[in-house]
Structure 1
Amino acid sequence: MTQHIGQRIEAYYQDLPSHERRVADFILAHFDDFAIYSAADLARLTGVSKATVTRLFKRLGFAHFQEVREHARELRNLGVPLVTEPGHTAQAFHRHFEREQANVKAMLDALDPDTLGAIAQAVSTADNVVVMGFRNSYPVALHLRQQLLQVRGQVHVLPQPGQTLAEELASLGDRDVVVVVGFRRRVTSFDRLMAHLHTLPCSVLLIADGTATSARQHADWSVICPLDSISAFDSYAAAMSLVNILASAVLHEHLKSGRQRMARLSHHFEQLDELS
């Protein structure tokens, strides 16, 4: 991606005339929600003319204000937290609900039942299940581990705080399954990690959004969860729904032993008085 508007402002900042610098300062101070303002809003809030706002955007490489809005949408689609419209209204809540529904539906429409069955079979019979995730993917990975632990043992989450991965991956065998959760704005080493996992004897499931195109070639299975949102932040409703579906499918692969394990867990919870 070319430089975003904040980076362009920083590159030109020292050479900006004072009035344009005033607009630039406002954009930098409101970078997460600048896209909700019109050119007239920017002029009014910074006390300059609309022509000054136009000159600034042209200096930054934008032909017109609509191109600035398109630039903001592009950043949002790449996962940059930007507010592109006002929220906190009944209409916004309704549109949020519709967007969440659409994300879950898109994930389910693309999830082949036979593929889910093969994944569930592999996870249920694996000697070890390793769940991996970085940044925003880590909470989804943690939740998946927690749900799978209700059904079976030997489910591990990586990376552990302060630890590297090599020691953990070196012992993986052909009866192990690695689940990699990799949503956008991934760490720079992500594709290298996926390529390395592909060389190991374990099976690999990738749970990601649609931008993980290069990583998908290194996975045995991949499930795409849309993250689209009307807010500044990505939505993980589809990902959490998939965790529920996958854990349930694993349980039904070995329903009797799964129920026995859940009963044992309930006994330990009671003995330790850990849950209210």
Structure 2
Amino acid sequence: MNVAITPVALKIRQLMTQHLGQRLRQQFDQLTPHERRVAGFILDHFDDFAVYSAAELARLSGVSKATVSRLFRRLGFASFQEVRQHARELRHHGVPLVTDRSALGNGLERFQRHFERERDNLHRLLEAIDADTFDAIVARLDEAPEVVIVGYRNGYPVALHLRQQLIQARDRVRLAPQPGQPLSEEITDLAPGTLVIVMGFRRRARGFEALMARLAEQDAACLLIGDPTLAASAVKPTWQLECPLDSISAFDSYTAAMSLVNLLANHLLHRRLQSGRARIDEISAGYTVLDELD
């Protein structure tokens, strides 16, 4: 199956496969001894190389600033500012890089900065959700004969938590693929009305576009939960909810995604409150019979 790749998606793919670290490794043997010093320092500090200025890279590597400039030109960068921009783009697409050494702050300031970023993510998430769209999603969660949740990499914990929450209120909620099994077996011959929920957070696994195209071919109802880089996706689902992942430094925050899981699960439970309460009671009784919880 041929899947169309948008120009934006192609740019992202090129960015992720030809980033600075890979260019350095590919050309390392062709570098001069002084250039290798700089390259070695960058590779050893790749997660935070962007916090250094060109002068600092030169000083810490024991070479001249001109050597640093020559190295970056050899790698295809017109200036050190372009290298910094490259690092910011990598961070935007999910590569965990420190781009500001003072980003965390000191003392209580670090907690305030973290709180403000998390609050901003939640605000952006909820502000972007259309109430009618949300109600339609919850209605399908309630009425679908089966819910299939697909999540790879950082999307897997979110998918696992969503499944754990939904299974409290309804039956036939499963994760796909099962460990060691191909995904194609899990999404073939989906029952009419099945809802497929796909986690599409940045640095998505290879085959994401093909999966979305396959679901579209099957005319399956699909909810795509991801981050703003989903704009590059060539295939649009039935519904799409975007969770900001911004944090104060290198690693993405999934607070907004987990909050969305909570919101969906609570609304599903309230939509089927009587049967949902009965199911929760039955599950709790099972815990007691099997002596699974304290």
Provide TM-score, normalisation by structure 2. 0.88
Q: Contact 1:151–1:261 (CA<8 Å) still a contact in 2? A: yes
- Once the two structures are TM-superposed, the CA of residue 184 in structure 1 deviates from its matched residue by 1.0
Q: Contact 2:197–2:223 (CA<8 Å) still a contact in 1? A: yes
CA distance in 2, matches of 1:56, 1:165: 44
Q: Contact 1:145–1:157 (CA<8 Å) still a contact in 2? A: yes
**Residue 91 of structure 2 aligns with which residue?**
76
SS at match of 1:207: strand
Q: Contact 2:148–2:196 (CA<8 Å) still a contact in 1? A: yes
CA distance in 2, matches of 1:88, 1:67: 26
Query: Does 1:249 pair with 2:267?
Result: yes
Q: Contact 1:130–1:179 (CA<8 Å) still a contact in 2? A: yes
**Residue 145 of structure 1 aligns with which residue?**
163
CA distance in 2, matches of 1:166, 1:68: 40
**Residue 282 of structure 2 aligns with which residue?**
264
Query: Does 1:31 pair with 2:46?
Result: yes
Q: Contact 1:151–1:250 (CA<8 Å) still a contact in 2? A: yes
**Residue 7 of structure 2 aligns with which residue?**
none
**Residue 154 of structure 1 aligns with which residue?**
172
Q: Contact 1:174–1:201 (CA<8 Å) still a contact in 2? A: no
- Once the two structures are TM-superposed, the CA of residue 97 in structure 1 deviates from its matched residue by 2.0
- Once the two structures are TM-superposed, the CA of residue 4 in structure 1 deviates from its matched residue by 1.4
Q: Contact 2:209–2:234 (CA<8 Å) still a contact in 1? A: no
Deviates more, 1:30-39 or 1:216-225: 216-225
SS at match of 2:186: helix
**Residue 184 of structure 1 aligns with which residue?**
202
1:9-62 per-position Cα deviation (integer Å, ceiling 9, x unaligned): 223322222111101001011111111122222122222222222222222222
List aligned pairs for 1:175-214, cutoff 5 A.
175-213=193-231
**Residue 51 of structure 1 aligns with which residue?**
66
2:154 to 123, 130, 136: 136
- Once the two structures are TM-superposed, the CA of residue 178 in structure 1 deviates from its matched residue by 0.7
SS at match of 1:51: helix
Q: Which amino acid aligns with 1:74?
A: E
Deviates more, 1:168-177 or 1:134-143: 168-177
Provide TM-score, normalisation by structure 1. 0.94
Q: Contact 2:149–2:197 (CA<8 Å) still a contact in 1? A: yes
Query: Does 1:89 pair with 2:110?
Result: no
Unmatched 5+ residue regions in structure 2? 1-13
Q: Which amino acid aligns with 2:90?
A: L
- Count of residue correspondences: 276
Identity of aligned residues (%): 57
SS at match of 1:227: coil
1:80-118 per-position Cα deviation (integer Å, ceiling 9, x unaligned): 111112347344433222221111111100111111111
2:81 to 49, 53, 66: 66
SS at match of 2:22: helix
